[in-house]
């Protein structure tokens, strides 16, 4: 195929970018373009990687407990499957739409390439508010969505996992539904399952653990002592809660955490088991005894050493980046920082460990889970954590070396590595037919 590309035959990759300055898709495309500009990519391969390979939108009915029927909309996007099967989580959120899922799928491609695990990138979601659904409604929604995805998912083609507002139970329903249609158990169709049905030890805390492994390396690089460091965690879901717990175990003081409703602060360091219990009992961290309330906006600008955004995209922008006081930002969330905020952080000497590196521990242990399911041979927690640490530390070193070599920040370095790996695979395979 000629390296000339005719634009306009496919929808432009920007087709769904919304006007919001921090829209996830705009951010993902800008980050990609910055890396592509640095790498000497052929025009065709550059254009191919800018587009998702496959996108499915489904509308489906779910019977509600009161006897009524609601119609929900769900998505699954494969961004790129050149290096292996499509991989990425499923989120349930009221604001999820195709543009967001497209961005998140692209980030999964770069994440898997960044830590060198043999997957492509995908993401899925259902637009819904899971907090308004009963457990049975959630189960029916999950099972019907799984069925709607049909042949798209499978252990060799596309392997979902938990993401925002989904968990091991949701994965168990997906695995069961898929297996019912096959007539036999297929544990490898999803990762992040309960251990009792083929899940992996350590998967639940893997994202948080990986965040801490990269954070320890970055702290060494900038001479930041984690013992006694003040840490702020925005988002207290699966990734945020475990990252907070692990960094506290290293002797840091977690002074503030938040969830979607707001945050809590204690300058001496929060009693994390108490915060977790309060959230389990009341549904929110707000009102944890002996804490002061802070808003999510205030929390991001608190005086601290380490900031861990662990919730949704688009929280650090040119509007608040000048006032962020952390020395180190560790992106447990996907897409929390806009390119403009990245520029401000670079100017201000604030180090950002980019999402595609920082939070890759989740998909890395997903990979271990999938390998164990395929081999039907399961590893110990010590073996899993040791392998996870090796992969995260090696990836950090690769990114750090690239950043120094090219005098770029860690995000651009991580992208340069990831994008060039996918590009190399694409060129090696060639274009069919
Ligand atoms: N949802 C997680 C992420 O964004 C995990 C994906 C996976 O394990 O496939 O990385």
367 CA distance to ligand 1 middle (Å): 10
363 CA distance to ligand 1 middle (Å): 5
CA distances from 222 to 147, 226, 351, 353 (A): 49, 11, 8, 12
- Which residues have a catalytic role annotated? 123
Nearest-atom number in ligand 1 for the CA of 365 is 8
Domains observed in the chain: 3-197 (3.40.50.10860), 206-358 (3.40.50.720)
For 226, the enclosing helix (H) or strand (E) is: none
**Ligand 1 lining (C-beta closer than 6 Å):** 87-89, 161, 163, 191, 334, 359, 362-363, 366
Q: For 14-113, where are the E strands, in sequence order?
A: 54-63, 69-80, 86-93
Are 64 and 79 in contact by the 8 Å Cβ rule? The answer is no
Nearest-atom number in ligand 1 for the CA of 363 is 8
SS3 category, 248: helix
Ligand 1, residues 124, 167, 192, 208: which to mutate, most atoms within 8 A of Cβ? 192
104 CA distance to ligand 1 middle (Å): 10
Nearest-atom number in ligand 1 for the CA of 162 is 1
Task: List the chain pLDDT tens, one digit each, 433 residues.
Answer: 344 565 556 778 888 887 666 699 999 999 999 999 999 899 999 999 999 999 999 999 999 999 999 999 999 999 999 999 999 999 999 999 999 999 999 999 999 999 999 999 999 999 999 999 999 999 999 999 999 998 899 999 999 999 999 999 999 999 999 999 999 999 999 999 999 999 999 999 999 999 999 999 999 999 999 999 999 999 999 999 999 999 999 999 999 999 999 999 999 999 999 999 999 999 999 999 999 999 999 999 999 999 999 999 999 999 999 999 999 999 999 999 999 999 999 999 999 999 999 999 999 999 999 999 999 999 999 999 999 999 999 999 999 999 999 999 999 999 999 999 999 999 999 999 9
Token code pair at residue 211: 């965040």
Are 220 and 253 in contact by the 8 Å Cβ rule? The answer is no
- CA dist 222 and 28 (Å) reads 27
288 CA distance to ligand 1 middle (Å): 30
Nearest-atom number in ligand 1 for the CA of 91 is 1
């Amino acid at each position: 195929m000629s390296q000339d590309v005719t634009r306009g035959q496919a929808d432009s990759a920007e087709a769904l970018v919304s006007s919001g300055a921090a829209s996830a898709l705009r951010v993902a495309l800008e980050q990609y373009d910055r890396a592509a500009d640095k790498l000497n990519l052929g025009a065709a391969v550059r254009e191919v990687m800018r587009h998702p390979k496959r996108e499915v939108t489904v509308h489906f009915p779910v019977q509600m407990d009161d006897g009524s029927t609601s119609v929900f909309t769900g998505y699954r996007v494969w961004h790129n499957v050149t290096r292996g099967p499509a991989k990425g989580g499923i989120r349930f959120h009221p604001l999820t739409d195709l543009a967001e899922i497209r961005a998140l799928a692209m980030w999964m491609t770069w994440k898997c390439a960044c830590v060198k695990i043999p997957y492509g990138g995908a993401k899925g979601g259902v637009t819904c508010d899971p907090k308004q659904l009963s457990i049975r409604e959630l189960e029916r929604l999950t099972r019907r969505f799984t069925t709607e995805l049909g042949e798209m998912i499978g252990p060799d083609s596309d392997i979902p996992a938990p993401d925002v507002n989904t968990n091991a139970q949701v994965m168990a329903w997906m695995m069961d539904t898929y297996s019912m249609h096959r007539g036999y158990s297929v544990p490898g169709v999803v990762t992040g399952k309960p251990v009792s049905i083929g899940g992996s030890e350590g998967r639940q805390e893997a994202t948080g653990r990986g965040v801490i492994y990269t954070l320890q390396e970055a702290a060494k690089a900038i001479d930041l002592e984690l013992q006694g460091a003040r840490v702020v965690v925005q988002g207290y879901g699966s990734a945020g809660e475990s990252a907070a717990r692990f960094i506290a175990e290293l002797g840091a003081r977690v002074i503030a955490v938040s969830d979607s409703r707001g945050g809590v602060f204690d300058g001496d360091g929060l009693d994390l088991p108490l915060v977790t219990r309060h959230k389990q009992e009341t549904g929110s961290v707000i009102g944890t005894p002996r804490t002061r309330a802070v808003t999510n906006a205030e929390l991001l600008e608190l005086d601290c050493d380490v900031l861990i955004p662990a919730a949704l995209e688009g929280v650090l922008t040119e509007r608040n980046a000048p006032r962020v006081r952390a020395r180190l930002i560790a992106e447990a969330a996907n897409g929390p920082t806009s390119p403009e905020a990245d520029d401000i952080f670079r100017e201000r000497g604030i180090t950002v460990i980019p999402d595609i590196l920082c939070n890759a521990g989740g998909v890395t242990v997903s990979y271990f889970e999938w390998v164990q399911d395929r081999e039907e041979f399961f590893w110990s927690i010590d073996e899993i954590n040791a392998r996870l640490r090796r992969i995260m530390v090696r990836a950090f070193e690769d990114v750090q070396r690239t950043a120094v070599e090219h005098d770029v920040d860690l995000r651009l370095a991580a992208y340069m590595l990831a994008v060039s790996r996918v590009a190399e695979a694409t060129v090696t395979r060639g274009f069919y037919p």
